[in-house]
A = this chain, B = another copy of it.
């Protein structure tokens, strides 16, 4: 589609001034080092072209798998300096970050296994059938990589949702080179992780351009508009994600945009559950909502708790646990400002109380807290709808409901979510009462539905689904788990191609031993 390049006007706009990119310590607000300069349109173009040129080197699945495994090993070998840099830039703590690095390496290896297995190719072979209506010729379908994938890193997972995170791992596994837009909260780490990936690529003869890295807000916009970018993955805010989604859709050739934008992650506590486990639930909620200083996309942000004594006890347990939480450092000072302003605006709404007041901690920290509100305030459109918007940081909203209908009315008004959780009593969990009904009611709200657990913690597993109705995600796909690879592929079918011309994946005798559908029958 060379003739479309000029329509995009990428190289015709005014040159963007090269602004410095600083690594900043959120514990002090001070600049640590200048890491790079923001990429110009020309530099974005060069990164995308270099990635595009690396496609052929990824065509061999064995090379992809080996590359991913070397990348995992490279991360582990450089663990201490990488974790040190990450902690200096994000204040997330060395223990959490070492765990996140291990998860990221695990994920790279999991995608290597997926590449080896080859089920993701979705091979379907139909021999000719003259009796069908209309007759069926010889048809052989599998999936091919889309092309260069743009990856927009997250602030809150400097390893697992950033340069070597799930989007990159799944794209490389699919055979797609990537150009990563670094998150400004961890530019130094981004550069170092990119180096690890490039060294791993070079070990297997893959050009280093297979993983591009650019810094800068404007560079991110140039990237999504580039004619050679074929798809994008994003983890971040509703505002930023929607702007990029809109840009992807408005291109002369629109591209798939798999964005994870925002989620309230509602929790419903039944009367019976509160009666049975008020303290346990209150304590569990405190742990989940304050984990990582409340900076998880799956933080429970709205909790429906029954009114009455059991609910009161739950709220008291929550208050005791949250009050004992240390003040924490958020990822950057802009987030701190937004958190302080966001909780203040919410706390000022009529009938909203703050049993433990969230907000400013020390000079660079914030303190955890939570708000309560009668659920009746949330059953119809009004000022209290602000409480149904995600507030990033260590705060949650406890809505006290009078009866099942009121709780249901609030749930019916929520936008889409990554997760929805129900806390049930042991009898309800055993299938008595409204257990099955509640599970069915929560299913339309989210991509992951939990029973008697907490949404923080997203396992890397074949069945995982990290996505949900908009604005949780902008597509029906997942960014975590085995099926994340599906985002970067498209099917192609060969009709009456002679055996001699077929790729090995599509030959009758299945020399690669791939799972497939053969003449209608599933073969594994």
Residues of A within 8 A of B (CB): 1-4, 6, 99, 102-103, 105-106, 119, 122, 124-126, 129, 132-137, 139-141, 144, 146, 245-246, 249-250, 253-254, 256, 380-381, 385, 412-416, 429-431, 435-436, 439, 443, 446-453, 457, 459-465, 467, 469-471, 474-476, 478, 482-483, 489-498, 500-501, 515, 517, 520, 522-524
Q: Once the chains bind, are B1 and A415 in contact (CB under 8 Å)?
A: yes
**Minimum CB–CB distance for A110 against chain B, Å:** 9
CA distance A3 to B378 in the complex (A): 10
Query: Nearest chain-B residue to A100 (Cβ)?
Result: B134
Q: Could you say which of B2, B385, B415, B476 contacts A146, with CB atoms under 8 Å apart? A: B476
Query: Which residues of chain B are near A457, meaning CB under 8 Å?
Result: 134
12 A-B residue contacts at CB 8 Å? A3-B381, A132-B459, A134-B457, A136-B459, A140-B463, A253-B415, A431-B498, A435-B498, A439-B494, A447-B492, A449-B493, A449-B495
Residues A448 and B495 in contact in the complex (CB < 8 Å), given A415-B1, A443-B144: yes
Query: Nearest chain-B residue to A113 (Cβ)?
Result: B520
Q: Once the chains bind, are B491 and A483 in contact (CB under 8 Å)?
A: yes
Q: Once the chains bind, are A448 and B497 in contact (CB under 8 Å)?
A: no
Q: Once the chains bind, are B450 and A495 in contact (CB under 8 Å)?
A: yes
CA distance A447 to B524 in the complex (A): 25
CA distance A523 to B6 in the complex (A): 50
Q: Once the chains bind, are A494 and B249 in contact (CB under 8 Å)?
A: no
Query: Which residues of chain B are near A256, meaning CB under 8 Å?
Result: 475-476
Q: Once the chains bind, are B523 and A470 in contact (CB under 8 Å)?
A: no
Query: Which residues of chain B are near A464, meaning CB under 8 Å?
Result: 126, 139, 141, 493
Q: Could you say which of B385, B448, B471 contacts A493, with CB atoms under 8 Å apart? A: B448
Query: Which residues of chain B are near A495, meaning CB under 8 Å?
Result: 448-451, 453
**Additional 11 contacts, C-beta under 8 A, given A439-B501, A450-B495:** A1-B414, A3-B381, A124-B482, A126-B459, A139-B463, A139-B464, A245-B254, A436-B500, A448-B492, A463-B493, A476-B491
Q: Once the chains bind, are A492 and B4 in contact (CB under 8 Å)?
A: no
Query: Nearest chain-B residue to A499 (Cβ)?
Result: B431
**Minimum CB–CB distance for A506 against chain B, Å:** 10
Residues A501 and B447 in contact in the complex (CB < 8 Å), given A134-B99, A495-B453: no
Q: Once the chains bind, are B500 and A451 in contact (CB under 8 Å)?
A: no
CA distance A381 to B3 in the complex (A): 6
CA distance A253 to B146 in the complex (A): 26
Query: Nearest chain-B residue to A143 (Cβ)?
Result: B476
CA distance A498 to B425 in the complex (A): 12
Query: Which residues of chain B are near A491, meaning CB under 8 Å?
Result: 447, 465, 467, 476, 478, 483
Residues A463 and B141 in contact in the complex (CB < 8 Å), given A431-B501, A436-B501: yes
Q: Could you say which of B141, B430, B496 contacts A450, with CB atoms under 8 Å apart? A: B496
CA distance A451 to B106 in the complex (A): 42
Query: Nearest chain-B residue to A524 (Cβ)?
Result: B522
CA distance A478 to B493 in the complex (A): 11
